Amino acid sequence: MRDWKDQVFTLTKELIHHPSINGTIGERDMAYLIHDYFKELAYFKENPGHLRLVKTQGDERERYNVMALVKGGYDSIHGETVILMGHMDTVGVDDYGKWKRLAFAPEELMDRWKSGKIPEQVKTDLEDGEWACGRGSVDMKSGVASNMVLTRYFAEHPEELKGNILFLSECDEEDNSHGIRSALSDMLYLAQEENLDYIAAINTDYTSPRFEGDPNRYVYLGTVGKLLPAFFIAGKETHAGQTFEGFDPNLVAAELTRRLDYNPDFCDELYGETTLPPISLKQTDLKSQYDVQTPFSAFAYYNFFVHSWSPKDVMEKLKKVAREAVDAAWEQYHHRYRTYCLRTDEPYQPQMGTPRVYTYEEFYNQCLEMYGVEFEESMRVFAMSLLNEEELDLRDYCRRMVEELWSWDDEKTPAVILLYASIYIPRIVLDETDQRDRRLIHAVNQAVSTIQPQCEQPIQVRNFFPYISDMSFVAISDDKEGLDSFEKNMPAWGMKYRMDREAIQSLDVPVVNIGPYGKDAHKQWERVEVPYSMEIVPNLNYQVILNLLG
């Protein structure tokens, strides 16, 4: 194995010392720091066009991606190129509490931890002296540092490559992945300009134990996909003193959460690996102030991971759930109404029709058929006007759109509209029957076999990276029908949110995640294990590259 540990460790600490919290000026400055690191190398002084600081397109903030191309000694013959990718932004530091000012000072923070009251598991890890801490230590500045050192090595030893390396460090992974989505067109343009053929991508996002006491270190072929299905629930408002003259949308929301939260029936299994079940990320009625009127409407959305299901599959499954939840809430409402009437000797007089269930696409098309151009133009103008509210969250933008859509309803009886309320994060499935996928799978397995004897812990290869990452945007496993279903049921599509699916399909590169190992990403106790992350990981990736391009 090559000795890169000290270089990666030193560079990791330097990157941590420079805050790059998503949405702050530091995120911009981190790109300059990485760019300057490469600018000093002889290779990029001789080939300045191969190093690019690229401003993100259509971004509300000034942010940049960094691209560094290293052409091998046989570049006139071989255009095959491996992408080394990783994000440079981090989440915030409010969770550090009294140690907040030390979140970007890893050495001093470690000293405070050792002398302070810390969780037992953190204390146990620190006792072996092989961990580093600080915001971004594992997610994922150590991964970026590993890529930087590896790219530098190949810039100094291009003769080892029968092909090329493209280093990419992207911004905004921790929010809406604007960085990688913007980089797609830049990578495709570079491929045309330099005659590159992208054959694989290696992402270096963080990995963690799958359960307490898990001894394994993980390499992931492909990645989980993520959707955010949402439910707009229209009830019927009434005075709290006339309870049964209305229908509480919160009752339906509760039934939805009861059916979806933690439910293994909605785990998606493929290749013997199973996603986590859905979990509620928001459930609220839409009253803006207190009064004694019951809520008119409610809104709920759920995190939904997928391995094999397309957005169309998920929409169909959840429309059935919505129908079941509505029917259960409706039956409960009437049962309790009848029970109350029996107690009070009042007449049982239901006043509402059975609640309806639609997808956003279905209800939109129904209104379009009824109201034609007037409706279509009104919705378009409303969507554009919402863009003036620059701080409006994407999820709230979608909610406002579905509320506006609902205002066109004439029946005014309870209903549920199912939609997607956040960005589409594609799943990527590597398939042994596909030649390019098979080539990367074999390169990874061979690299693991080569490096495993030098690693104390078992290295296990799995099929799906279990966290959200930018690697989702270099290929798409869903078909046109599945993608169309997402676009037609996502109210912000084409206005607040855009994704160039043609660019992703043009790039279409198999991807693997070989990244640092650590614990408590996005938490106060974020820490990275040094020997695996800064010695084994760069050597694994080095071997994968040589297996593909050597």
Contact 68, 167 (CB under 8 A): yes
CATH fold for the domain made of 229-420: Alpha-Beta Plaits (3.30.70)
Report, as an integer, the average pLDDT of 354-362. 96
Whether the predicted pLDDT of 400 surpasses 60: yes
Query: In the chain, what is the straight-line distance between the N-terminal and C-terminal CA atoms, in Å?
Result: 16
Distance, in Å, from the CA atom of 195 to the CA atom of 424, rounded to the nearest integer, reads 30
Distance, in Å, from the CA atom of 74 to the CA atom of 158, rounded to the nearest integer, reads 9
Whether the predicted pLDDT of 466 surpasses 80: yes
So what's the pLDDT on residue 56? Answer: 95
Distance, in Å, from the CA atom of 123 to the CA atom of 119, rounded to the nearest integer, reads 6
CATH of domain 5-224+425-475+510-549: 3.40.630.10
Encode pLDDT of 111-152 as tens digits: 999 888 889 999 999 888 899 999 999 999 999 999 999 999
pTM of the model: 0.92
Sign of CA dihedral 461, 466, 467, 469: positive
Q: Which residues contact 301 (CB under 8 A, 6 or more apart)?
A: 228, 229, 230, 231, 280, 281, 282, 395, 421, 422
Whether the predicted pLDDT of 390 surpasses 90: no
- What rounded mean pLDDT belongs to the chain? 95
Encode pLDDT of 477-513 as tens digits: 999 999 999 999 999 999 999 888 899 999 999 999 9
Distance, in Å, from the CA atom of 110 to the CA atom of 99, rounded to the nearest integer, reads 11
Burial of 92 (0-12, 13-18, 19+ CB in 10 A): middle
Least confident of 73-82, 182-191, 429-438: 73-82
Q: Which residues contact 139 (CB under 8 A, 6 or more apart)?
A: 90, 91, 205, 206, 518, 521, 522, 526
Whether the predicted pLDDT of 74 surpasses 70: no
CATH 3.40.630.10 spans which residues of the chain? 5-224+425-475+510-549
- Percent over 70 (pLDDT), the chain: 99
So what's the pLDDT on residue 77? Answer: 61
The most distant pair of C-alpha atoms in the chain lies apart, rounded to whole Å, by 92
CATH 3.30.70.360 spans which residues of the chain? 229-420
Encode pLDDT of 251-295 as tens digits: 999 999 999 999 999 999 999 999 999 999 999 999 989 988 889
* SS3 call for 229: strand
Distance, in Å, from the CA atom of 250 to the CA atom of 467, rounded to the nearest integer, reads 31
